[in-house]
Amino acid sequence: MEISVLAWRLLILFIPGVICTFILESLVIHQKWHVNEFLIRAFIHGIVSYFLLFLIWKPCQWMWHIPDMAIWDTLNKSESYIPWNEIAEATGISVLMGFVRSWTANEQFIFKIARRFGLSKRHGSESEWRYFFEADEVVWVLVRLPEINRVYEGKVTSFSDSEDFREVILKDVHVYTNESPVELYSRAAAYLSGKKHQMVVEVVKLRETK
């Protein structure tokens, strides 16, 4: 019975970590996380949330003489009450942390700084495909599909990728064959998909940078 109580208390205590990890999983572009990886991240985020709350709590305690945080007693003493106010405050911190971490991860700040100072050549994207399309300079591309002998020229509006599958949406599309520059037809937009090695992408036009 004590194990069940402990497990229940742990589940409640790490609500902030689960919420922060769920925000990251939803907003950050990444390969699918396994269950164990999600739980480890939730555990770490939960600890960090309570630690940040502790850093805020201490100055408030000195100024207004509020009692110590009770969250740690909840784990050590089975008869202690569950401090819902501290869990709610840590959850608020975890939500903010989740959004901040998602923003910094998607903007790849760490990798940009590392490349800036020559510390690394890594770009932080999950794949070269994603890194290519996320580049600010890439505007107009040719997508070659050799298996059907078609070339699609257009402006990239969105894209996605998985481990073996690629998707891209173009607008202002012009269609050719691989052998001839004569246009077959044009469309306002086109959705293209294929396996990893079935699509070849070339840049036609780069965005001008100052």
Query: What's 136's domain CATH number?
Result: 2.30.30.100
> 204 by DSSP, 3-state: which?
strand
Question: What pLDDT is attached to residue 121?
Answer: 61
Q: Please, which residues have CB within 8 angstroms of residue 94's CB and are 6 or more apart in sequence?
A: 16, 17, 19, 20, 45, 46, 49
- Residue 117 is given by DSSP the state T
Q: Is residue 82 part of a domain?
A: yes
Question: What pLDDT is attached to residue 62?
Answer: 86
Residues 71 and 154 in one domain: no
Residues 76 and 21 in one domain: yes
Question: What pLDDT is attached to residue 123?
Answer: 56
Residues 29 and 71 in one domain: yes
Q: Is residue 121 part of a domain?
A: no
Residues 59 and 145 in one domain: no
Residues 138 and 185 in one domain: yes
Q: How far apart are CA 81 and CA 73, in angstroms?
A: 9
Residues 7 and 87 in one domain: yes
Residues 46 and 138 in one domain: no
**Mean pLDDT per 10-residue section of the chain, whose length is 210 residues:** 60 87 85 84 92 90 82 67 87 95 81 72 63 73 91 89 80 92 93 85 67
Question: What pLDDT is attached to residue 124?
Answer: 53
Give the range of the structural domain holding residue 81, as residue numbers without chain letter.
2-107
What's the chain's length in residues?
Answer: 210
Residues 58 and 132 in one domain: no
Residues 21 and 77 in one domain: yes
Residues 78 and 6 in one domain: yes
